Structure 1
């Protein structure tokens, strides 16, 4: 009609155009010209750029605030021209002279002159402006934005505020009805696209409800409201499913449709609904877009909890404006303890807790499933966005949780022999049981405890072994025998020691032998041809030995070490080298391991201690130093998360065996050494003696006629402490000793758990050395 009247017609739009275009002199749509920087403009953005092209924009660019407001409220990607418009528009909005915007910000709790963020537009101003079009008439929002009357602006802002509250209530009613329908008809969740219909569902909020249902069920959702025999629907999709293409393929069953890959609208006759759903399912299967998508969380950066501070917040804010196409960075922390965990909100839908050792709160909105999270037992791995929370005049940082899982779930993603026993133990722990985990040796216990400490809270994990003081052991034994819930990790020698004292109470507890078969050792040999085969560990790894210290000069290898001299030699001789050996900080270990995983070739120098990050497939594992048992080898392999296809090569010669035997002999004194030291110790006198450790060693060396090192002295004192013959404390280089010798003629070494653990360590290494002698050379 306009063209027939002789008027020139210009049509602006930002939606995907159909096959038939409107009759107009000019059609301005970024999708028609394939303009990359402009293709994501919203409708107001297209109009703004047209006004600029026509020279209609004021010199001071006072329309930028409206262009930014519309861009954010329409939830379009913030890249290309959109990012520029929003960046400068937000700056202008904080000093806007529009009465309507100022009043709307005040009703939303935004202070005058305050720097405006994209989040405040998207979640405070945008919903209020959109509420008018959803529940009343969009004219109200337009009048608010162009009025110059302060009183009218305040009135309209309050009207929009009330409409927004009404919109929330209406949204909750429809969501509740739709959820009840799903609960009564669960079979509809088997469809690739969830289609629900109803009467008196306000069309203005159907898109919001569809988005929430799509987020919950991880599939596209279409909600239709019937008005007599026809209905209007809102569609919301998920990544990887083009809902606009789906509607296009089913257009024979629709009256109208339009939109984007992620959001669309339609109108349909009621008698076509069944045919439409069938066609939709058929297209979903044929196009390969069928099936619900697993929720994926892309992490921008894994950080240490200590790095979460105001400096990090300001660095993140420098990346504003945020929105689709430029989302708020997603960060991750691993293995954090959560305290004061509780479900909050009127219906207990939100999870809140506090990170141990910090003033940081964590909050997860609409996550009722987190009510089952055992915060007192498991450490948590979190993906989150860092927020700033203002409450009663106080500002603090908080973690807005995207995903929360027990730390062991990510760390145990690979199938390993550890998994069955740990799964069993965690199941019993969730039943509030006391569980006894029996490790074959103290060294294996120590490494297992390091791994478990990455996953479990301090209150849920207890180590019981001979290296503890008598007071520490007594407290642990009392908790164990009282049945206090937790995992109690003991060495096999300590378990034997406890059995002699409390066999009945101990037998009543649930016990799990960890890596038992590895401790016993298993050499797989080809019985048919009589030839020796490689040592087969419990994890199925094929192991070989090599006499020399030479290693391959290229490839990707993990190199195990346990001696400082070996570490120094390797650091000087192989390249590229990634060294995590000796690092006490878990985050540093993970950074080194991540660098190795990403490298095309290189050598990872490791001491086999836990960091919770699997390595994956490599060319092999080279053990430059000998471990102390088959069980320790298996645990090291499992901790590194290596596939079973690569070989394990152990450097095995007499000097390696001698080095380990000397170390064990000094760490765990035999009966002869203890008895030979007793007269010298008695000669030092009674009561409390205090001095430098080196001075004690010099005196004892002179009396015994043999060199006594600090390790020699401490190991003997440890056994005597177990037997009630002395007490000692060491702080730095100073040691205090209190002797309590008595007239007993005999000493029963089996009463010392430290001594018993030494016997077990020596026996385990002896068995390993015997097995290695029968292994084939690499």
Structure 2
């Protein structure tokens, strides 16, 4: 934790917003702080609040609003009627694995001639692979349903068509100038797609296709809703906005996970040590990395087997194995991160650049995305980590808040063989000999486009509150604002004029546990990770400010609220 973080505090409400806040406070009977949070997030009427606090499956959009959905359903119906072999194809990350488990699992309920395929991260790489086209031809596949990939695989889809194999593409990445010559291309980000919600995951689009197929075949809707736990896991893991339709899917998926989880997810929760009610944060940090670890360390088919398991004993065996992969992944992640940081620290150009682009041929391809994120924790700037794979340099990129990574990479397209991704995360392949030129070009693009503020770590603060605001009712209402995620993040609060109630407790030589009060209100426990650098200043006993989120701590059956500190400032207004 570093004191130089920028605190980006929401502006004081103008007269109109203050009026809406007062109206919300009365209409839905909430404390002033809650009404302020809601209006900040665009929830400024009783009707909007009702949809926000009580997400309804009835508000899901008609899947046939998506461009080409009718074509996709017609082609699936034809394949089923004629007994064609169908291949469900997905990417090797969490979104792809859950998407394959969902759509394959759904089809298997009423159709036997179906198989699934996930490319090997190392032998085949991202997206539709040439090996998979060969495999499909050799195994008599007539139709491939590609999930979470394929939107830029024009050459592979075209070759498959020449071999008599049709494609249905279900992707959520940005399309290029041309679309693949598939029977149907389902992607809300198509410029000609009228679908009202644009931010579904690949698994979410697979869910919409399953919904549409179920409707056409008069299959009860509940048979598709049984897969909402998988949609929720993909939504949490893929860092998409938790708004609109995603909020509905995540809300009901979490309910399913907490009441009747499928055996694979239940076994995974057990090996991850999750007890009690599981929230989105735990899915992101405990379940998703383990599902991802299969594709990073061995093969993503292992994750799909886990998610499809029906026998508890099988699920437990798969979960134990996948947990072992995750331990291996952590070791790779830690050692490669250390090497990457040394490379930066020992090179003047790299240390002073506006971006980080590193290449090391023996780094484990499965963890380079994680290493990119770790480097950003130390050097807050767009980062790409490359390793050697199949004769090429393969990279994984991560960005900082507010900077469009995808557009910066696109500006270097002449040096790349292929690339794809989102605003904040992307992947790419290029000839090894182009790495140095790419590093220089990418840094030039970043330097021209990034603002000085974006290179400084920041904390976005929603609201200043007093400790007197922190009541059981306040926290109960906060919990109902979940599930949290992009565009509906856990509220961050700031409180000023705080004092130590007793001396700080140092945890594991790096972290602090504080007991703090404000004008006699409290004390509250505050946990500050990586904050021992503040210890001397705190011990001066001068007042300070904290920005933090609120969490409930359960210890030996006792529940208490604690502050999870994001930053400390010793000077107060």
User: Which TM-score band applies after superposition, normalised by the shorter structure?
Assistant: 0.5 to 0.7
Alignment of 1:534-553 (within 5 A): none
- Secondary structure of 1:407's aligned partner: coil
Instruction: State the 1:13 CA deviation.
Output: 0.6
- Cα deviation for residue 236 of structure 1 reads 0.6
- Which whole-Å CA distance do the structure 2 matches of 1:269 and 1:5 have between them? 29
* CA spacing shift, 1:160–1:371, aligned 2, 3 Å: farther
Matched, 1:89 2:253: yes
Q: For residues 217 and 37 of structure 1, what CA distance do their matches in structure 2 show?
A: 38
Alignment match, 1:76: 240
- Tell me by how many angstroms 1:307 deviates: 2.7
Alignment of 1:26 with 2:26, yes or no, is: no
1:196 and 2:358 correspond: yes
Separation (CA, whole Å) in 2 of partners of 1:215 and 1:268 = 26
What residue number does 1:320 align with? 482
Output the CA distance in 2 between the equivalents of 1:391 and 1:159: 30
* Alignment-derived partner of residue 550 in structure 2: 386
Separation (CA, whole Å) in 2 of partners of 1:148 and 1:264: 34
8 Å CA contact 2:514–2:525 kept in 1: the answer is yes
Worse-superposed segment, 102-111 or 67-76? 102-111
Structure 1: distance between partners of 2:162 and 2:398: 39
State the match for 2:213 in structure 1: 54
Report matched runs for 1:268-283 at 5 Å. Answer: 268-283=430-445
Which residue is equivalent to 1:534?
A: none
* Counterparts in 2 of 1:323 and 1:222: CA distance versus 1, 3 Å: same
In structure 2, C-alpha distance between the alignment counterparts of 1:181 and 1:352, rounded to whole Å: 34
Higher relative contact order (CA 8 A, sep 6+): 2
Whether 1:10 and 2:168 are equivalent positions in the alignment is: yes
For residues 370 and 223 of structure 1, the distance between their equivalents in structure 2, rounded to whole angstroms, comes to 32
Q: For the structure 1 residues 136 and 278, does the alpha-carbon distance in structure 2 shift closer, same or farther, using more than 3 Å as the test?
A: same
Q: Distance in 2 between matches of 1:192 and 1:271?
A: 22
Q: By how many angstroms is 1:124 displaced? A: 1.5
Equivalences for 1:329-478 in 2 at 5 Å?
329-338=491-500, 339-345=502-508, 348-356=509-517, 358-367=522-531, 369-371=533-535, 373-408=537-572, 411=573
- How far has the Cα of 1:269 moved from its partner? 2.0
Q: 1:286 to 1:75 in 2, by over 3 A?
A: closer
What CA distance in whole angstroms lies between the structure 2 residues aligned with 1:396 and 1:77? 30
Aligned CA distance change for structure 1 residues 89 and 284 (closer, same or farther; 3 Å): same
d(CA) in 2 for partners of 1:35 and 1:117?
32
- CA distance in 2: counterparts of 1:269 and 1:368, whole angstroms: 44
Separation (CA, whole Å) in 1 of partners of 2:274 and 2:310:
20
Work out whether residues 353 and 361 of structure 1, in 8 Å CA contact, stay in contact via their aligned partners in 2: yes
Q: Distance in 2 between matches of 1:372 and 1:270?
A: 48
Partners of 2:235 and 2:538 lie apart in 1 by 42
Could you say if the C-alpha distance between residues 24 and 18 of structure 1 is closer, same or farther in structure 2, counting changes exceeding 3 Å?
same
Where does residue 129 of structure 1 map in the other structure? 291
Match for residue 39 of structure 1 among 180, 186, 198:
198
Distance 1:386 1:170, change over 3 A: same
Q: Alignment partner for residue 395 of structure 2, among 223, 233, 236?
A: 233
> Equivalences for 1:138-149 in 2 at 5 Å?
138-149=300-311
Q: Once the 2 structures are TM-superposed, how far is the Cα of residue 122 of structure 1 from its aligned partner?
A: 1.2
Deviation for aligned residue 1:159? 1.4
**CA distance in 1: counterparts of 2:278 and 2:220, whole angstroms:** 22
Cα 1:198–1:99 change in 2 (3 A) is same
Q: Given that residues 91 and 116 in structure 1 are in contact (C-alpha distance below 8 angstroms), is that contact kept between their aligned partners in structure 2?
A: no
Native 8 Å contact 1:199 1:226 kept in 2: yes
Question: Is the contact made by 2:401 and 2:454 (CA closer than 8 Å) also made in structure 1?
Answer: no
Counterparts of 2:335 and 2:536, CA distance in 1: 26
Q: Which ranges in structure 1 are unaligned for 5 or more consecutive residues?
A: 412-778
Secondary structure of the corresponding residue to residue 298 of structure 1: strand
1:38 and 1:108 mapped to 2: Cα distance?
33
CA contact (8 A) 2:172 2:188 kept: yes
> How far did residue 360 of structure 1 move?
2.3
**Partner residue of 2:467?**
305
Contact 2:211 2:221 in 1 (8 A): no
In the aligned structure 1, how far is the partner of 2:439 from the partner of 2:300? Answer: 32
Cα deviation, residue 349, structure 1: 3.1
Q: Could you list the runs of 5+ residues in structure 2 that have no partner in the other structure?
A: 1-158
Secondary structure of the structure 2 residue equivalent to 1:324: coil
SS of equivalent to 1:341: strand
Q: 1:342: Cα distance to partner?
A: 4.0
Asked whether 1:262 is paired with 2:433, we answer no
**Conserved? CA contact 1:132–1:140, under 8 Å:** yes
Residues 612-639 of structure 1: CA deviation (Å, up to 9, x unaligned): xxxxxxxxxxxxxxxxxxxxxxxxxxxx
With over 3 angstroms needed to count, the CA separation of the structure-2 counterparts of 1:3 and 1:197, relative to structure 1, is closer
Distance 1:368 1:203 in 2: 34
Question: Whole-Å Cα distance in 2 between the matches of residues 330 and 289 of structure 1?
Answer: 24
Counterpart position of 2:144? none
Of 312, 324, 327 in structure 2, the residue corresponding to residue 150 of structure 1 is: 312
Shift of 1:367: 4.3
Other-structure match for 2:409: 247
Structure 1 equivalent of residue 455 of structure 2: 293
> What is the CA-CA distance between 1:220 and the residue it aligns to?
0.7
Evaluate the alpha carbon distance shift between residue 29 and residue 85 of structure 1 in structure 2; reply closer, same or farther with a 3 A threshold: same
Mapping for residues 167-246 of structure 1, pairs under 5 Å: 167-227=329-389, 230-246=392-408
Alignment check: 8 A CA contact 1:192 1:290 kept: no
Secondary structure of the residue aligned to 1:40 is coil
Q: Is the 8 A contact 1:94 1:116 kept in 2?
A: yes
2:265 corresponds, among 94, 101, 123, to 101
1:676-710 Cα deviation digits (max 9, x unpaired): xxxxxxxxxxxxxxxxxxxxxxxxxxxxxxxxxxx
- Quote the Cα distance in structure 1 between the aligned partners of 2:289 and 2:537: 33
- Find the residue that maps to 1:400 and give its secondary structure: strand
How many Å separate the matches in 2 of 1:87 and 1:65?
A: 9
* Structure 2: distance between partners of 1:290 and 1:335: 30
Q: Structure 2-normalised TM-score?
A: 0.66
Q: CA deviation at 1:156?
A: 0.9
